[in-house]
Amino acid sequence: MDRGRSYIRLVFFGSLVLIVILAGVLMVTGYPARARGLILGGAASLTNLLLTAAAVRGQVWGSSGKGFRFGAAGAYAARMGITAAALIFGALDARVSFWAVVIGLFSVQVVLVAGTLTGLTERKD
């Protein structure tokens, strides 16, 4: 496995663990709407991470033709659509906390920053 994939895997599973633990704590403490919102926003964030990684991988190792440009535009549109769908669902459904969705959308960024500050995501050459 190359370094890029192992880094994405580390960030993905770190974010997943963060989301599951925080949602579990919210469920146990009696805030199920906030837990659902965190899970929804976190799922959108993880999907965005995978789509971004695929787009970068395609840009680095892919072709430079017209198909790539439409593929990259499609991936960008899919990422924005997923984010919009999560936010709209969180705003319209009373069973899901909108602000927890917003916080969940930042789960990957929290893991990226925390990993950089603590050195857990640095290369070990």
Query: How many other CB atoms are found less than 10 A from the CB of residue 53?
Result: 17
Whether 124 maps to a domain, the answer reads: no
- pLDDT for 33-76, tens place per residue? 999 999 999 999 999 999 888 877 766 666 555 555 566 778 88
Whether 25 maps to a domain, the answer reads: yes
- What is the domain extent for residue 41? 3-118
Interval 5-19 mean pLDDT: 91
Global pTM reads: 0.84
pLDDT band at 29 (very low <50, low <70, confident <90, very high): very high
Structure tokens at 44: 């959108």
Structure tokens at 24: 């579990």
User: 3-class SS at 71?
Assistant: helix
Any residues with CB less than 8 A from the CB of 7 and at least 6 apart, and which?
A: 121
Helix-helix angle 66-92:32-61, to 10 degrees:
170
Whether 78 maps to a domain, the answer reads: yes
Whether 112 maps to a domain, the answer reads: yes
Q: Given a cut of 80, is residue 121 above it in pLDDT?
A: no
Whether 65 maps to a domain, the answer reads: yes
Whether 110 maps to a domain, the answer reads: yes
Distance CA 42, CA 63 (A): 31
- pLDDT for 98-114, tens place per residue? 999 999 999 999 999 99
Whether 123 maps to a domain, the answer reads: no
User: What is the domain count for the chain?
Assistant: 1
Query: How many other CB atoms are found less than 10 A from the CB of residue 39?
Result: 20
